Amino acid sequence: MQTRVAKVSKDTVDILNEAGALLRSGELVAFPTETVYGLGANAFDADACKRIFEAKGRPSDNPLIVHVSEPSEAENIAYTCPLYYELASKFMPGPLTVILPKKEVIPPEVTAGLDTVAVRCPENEIARALIKSSKIPIAAPSANASGKPSPTSADHVYNDLNGKIPLILDGGACKFGVESTVITIKDGKIIVLRPGSVTPEMLRDVCETVEIAEAVKKELRADEQALSPGMKYKHYAPNASLYLIDDKYINFVEFTKEKQKTENCAVMCYDEEIPHLENKKLLPVGKKQDIKHQTKMLFELLRQADNLRVDTVYAHLPNDDGESLAIYNRMIRACAHRVIGGRNGEG
Ligand code: TXA
Ligand code: MG
């Protein structure tokens, strides 16, 4: 199959209509969102959704998020509650996904047989225009090949899915760069299943009790039941061994400068550290305090690390709270819990 990449804005109506028609006819279309690129299919069409799993090589028991263009369209696919609308009024459209009891119209292929469905109303204008033009809810996981970092540009999608899907809508770089915050509601409490740019602190404005599922910071034990199927999958790990350095206990620059002398390694450093390191195979993540930029660069840099063909990658251990929690959650999985230094550490 030939994969076409089309540059789009919310005003390129012809391409959006064409993409909407493709989706309605059961085809797959990759599209930008404010978090990462999604691989979309008609959420009412079980066969189309099965094709998503084939194209990505995704395990069929990992359910998909269904995207709507207005928060109220959740009614077409799920049973909502007052807390859903309180969340919607504050965070939607935006990078928040809410798990709700599903309605019959959503086929089990989308939800991996669960009786709940993940609902998200993206803020990206192209994503919303596409949903509106297709006139259907769009089931879409991240548009990477399973096992790769989520794509934050159309190039990433093309590298992973070229020849497997007919159309990629190129809307430029994603604003946030990590996948949406996924939450579930239980007895009036919010449980964060996957951290994202809507932080637990932000959610506490709407709901008194916000818990963070244990698997967000730790690996599940083999006998533990996952609240969200995505938690139990081995996440992206670079080809090289990634080590996270706890810089509260170890001098990052001194440590990595020594490694640069003896190892074929890449260093994910802060901009401020560049002048103090050898200028080879550096992957600057941004300024130390600029968590938003570090979040946006995360998956791009992990892809670059693979392209550098190094044996090891060294990076800072991110903080595990606030805006940093989303980065911590992805990095701790990517490094297979190899942490050097005191906190959580080996040494
Ligand atoms: O930002 C995002 O959420 C992106 C863009 C494209 O919207 N999508 C995305 O989808 O990251 P995906 O499939 O890569 O991740 C969806 C996560 C998975 O961890 C999955 O297990 C979880 O949401 N999930 C989906 N439906 C669920 C359900 N009914 N119950 C619990 N977890 C669910
Ligand atoms: Mg994904």
User: What are 53-77's pLDDT values in tens digits?
Assistant: 999 999 999 999 999 999 999 999 9
Q: How confident is the model at residue 221 (pLDDT cuts 50, 70, 90)?
A: low
Residue whose token pair is 């941004």: 286
Rounded CA-CA distance 78/100 in Å is 6
Residue 84 has a pLDDT of 98
Confidence of residue 236 (pLDDT cuts 50, 70, 90): confident
Question: Does the CB atom of residue 197 touch ligand 1 within 6 A?
Answer: no
Sheet strands side by side (includes 167-170): 4-7, 167-170, 29-31, 38-42, 138-139, 65-67, 116-120, 96-101, 181-186, 189-194, 210-212
Q: How far is CA 338 from CA 102, 180, 234, 249, 319, in A?
A: 39, 25, 15, 15, 15
CB-based contacts of 286: which residues, under 8 Å, 6+ apart? 270, 271, 293, 294, 297
pTM above 0.85, yes or no: yes
How does pLDDT run across 33-52, given as a tens digit for each residue?
999 999 999 999 999 999 99
Q: Is the CB of 114 under 6 A from ligand 1?
A: yes
Q: Is 166 in the pocket of ligand 1 (CB under 6 A)?
A: no
Task: Extract the tokens encoding 340.
Answer: 């050097």
> 229 CB under 6 A from ligand 1?
yes
Tell me the CA–centroid distance for residue 111 and ligand 1, in Å. Answer: 10
* Residue 206: predicted pLDDT: 96
Ligand 2 centre and the CA of 75: distance in Å?
25
- Under the banding of pLDDT at 50, 70 and 90, the label for residue 10 is confident
Q: What is the pLDDT of residue 238?
A: 85
- Does 56 contact ligand 1 (Cβ within 6 A)? no
Q: CA-CA distance, 311 to 265, in Å (whole number)? A: 6
Check residue 336 and give its pLDDT: 84
For ligand 1, atom 19, the nearest C-alpha belongs to 230
**CB hemisphere CA count around 93 (13 angstroms):** 18
Nearest CA to ligand 1 atom 20: 230
Structural domains for the chain: 4-216 (3.90.870.10), 241-340 (3.40.50.11030)
